[in-house]
Structure 1
Amino acid sequence: MKTRFILASAMIIALFTSSCSNNDDTHTNNATNLQSITEEEKAGLLFMLEEEKLARDTYIYMNNLWGLNQFNNIKNSEQSHMDAIITILEQNNIEYTILPEGEFSNQNLQNFYNQFIIDGQVSSESALQIGATIEDLDIVDLEDYINESSNESLILTYENLQCGSRNHLRSFVSAIENLGFTYLPQFLTLEEYEAILNSNREQCN
């Protein structure tokens, strides 16, 4: 299980950067004809399902709290991310459980959600910082799983999810900057982060 989500709440509130977000185009329905899934890949899928749920549930809460377009739009994309992973799990007869909103079987993810809910109430800027941090983490975790897999269908799905997360990151960063703040990458290298921001919004499959 890989969670690099070891970010303290103070760091989250201290983050800086922005976004004007729109719908993210990440309907990844390309998980057909999968090669056999290894136990390590299975564990990765189950973890990423909950990490995408963390994003969805957090954005639902922040949208209800602040009513920002970024959260309203991106929460729907996070559901499509979850659906893409569920497709692979079901095609491979892998059992999974989706707990109620705000509940996670992974205790680290549960702790982060609980902290995000506290930190996100501070200001709309803090809420946007949390969104950027989640996308920052997603991109890095997905890259790790891509590098560890030789399963072409799985890699393609993860790459499409990454594409969506890059668009999400651009949106959150744009919104943060519009408020006069900055986001500092927590998981991506500065070079990787700047390459994403300096490139155009992507059309994801």
Structure 2
Amino acid sequence: MKKQAIITTSIVAGAVVLAGAGVAIALTTAPTEAPDAASTTVATTPAEATPTADTLATPEHDAATPYDTTTALLFLIEEEKLAHDVYVTLGDQWGSNIFTNIADSETTHQELVAPLLDARGIADPRSTEVGVFTDPDLQALYDDLMARGSTSLAEAIQVGIVIEEKDITDLSAAIAAEDEADVVSVLERLLAGSENHLRSFERQA
């Protein structure tokens, strides 16, 4: 029996906040004011913000979706592949050792998750091609992060920070919801690794 994601609702300063399994969604409703008869304000849509760890979606950790070990493992192994592929590519582009060194660790992380898939008869979703993903959200995320990281070394370091912060968020949520001991053990090792990687990128920022 898998643990179900817990959904909580709270109202804070006019915002309705839904939180569950490590994901918070805020829906803010501004007070309605009568329009000024003397003037009319035309709203403009701001340019799309650069993705951050707080704005990146994690499908299986959506507050309305019950946690499932199979879904989580499929997502997490490709998330580790995403980190590896981004770091390999940015390392080649910028010649910075931090990307090469951490990419090797991301390979190890994938090797830790793969036996969990095998033990459960779950087909490995990973492509052997760099930058190619089965999960469409991870594919879109990879494309966005590579576009950002290719602009400068400083932005590439920020991409590393975003990836590791997202990994930490996703792994923490999975650990909290998981009840299979072998999975928890592996995810805790991945979490410790991501925390170390984050500190390394932050020292370079």
- Which of 45, 60, 74 is equivalent to 2:102? 74
Matched, 1:10 2:50: yes
Please state which structure has a larger fraction of its residues in strand. Answer: 2
The equivalent residue for 2:202 is 173
**Counterparts of 2:88 and 2:131, CA distance in 1:** 10
SS at match of 1:147: helix
Q: Conserved in 2, the CA contact under 8 Å of 1:49 and 1:82?
A: yes
Please state which structure has a larger fraction of its residues in helix. Answer: 1
**Counterparts of 1:9 and 1:47, CA distance in 2:** 24
- Which of 149, 152, 164 is equivalent to 2:178? 149
Question: Which one-letter code corresponds to 2:108 in the other structure?
Answer: S
**Counterparts of 1:67 and 1:43, CA distance in 2:** 35
**Counterparts of 1:98 and 1:51, CA distance in 2:** 10
- Which of 168, 187, 190 is equivalent to 1:139? 168
**Counterparts of 1:133 and 1:3, CA distance in 2:** 16
SS at match of 2:68: helix
| Greater relative CO, 1 or 2 (CA 8 Å, sep 6+) | 1
Once the two structures are superposed, residues 126-172 of structure 1 have per-residue CA deviations (whole angstroms, 9 ceiling, x without a partner) of: 00000011000001100111111111111110000000000000000
Which runs of no fewer than 5 residues in structure 2 stay unpaired? 1-20, 24-47, 53-66
Pairwise CA distance, 1:103: 0.6
Percent identity over paired residues:
34
Q: Conserved in 1, the CA contact under 8 Å of 2:22 and 2:169?
A: no
Q: Conserved in 2, the CA contact under 8 Å of 1:142 and 1:162?
A: yes
The equivalent residue for 2:118 is 90
Question: Which one-letter code corresponds to 1:104 in the other structure?
Answer: F
Give the structure with higher Rg (CA): 2
How many residues were matched structurally? 146
Question: Which one-letter code corresponds to 1:72 in the other structure?
Answer: T
**Counterparts of 1:119 and 1:130, CA distance in 2:** 7
In the superposition, the TM-score normalised over structure 2's length comes to 0.67
Q: Conserved in 2, the CA contact under 8 Å of 1:46 and 1:96?
A: yes
Question: Which one-letter code corresponds to 2:82 in the other structure?
Answer: L
Pairwise CA distance, 1:11: 4.7
Deviates more, 1:99-108 or 1:130-139: 99-108
Which runs of no fewer than 5 residues in structure 1 stay unpaired? 13-38, 177-205
**Counterparts of 2:123 and 2:107, CA distance in 1:** 18
RMSD: 1.9
**Counterparts of 2:192 and 2:50, CA distance in 1:** 28
Runs of 4+ in 1 over 6 A off after TM superposition: none
User: Alpha carbons of 1:151 and 1:142: their partners in 2 closer, same or farther (altered >3 Å)?
Assistant: same
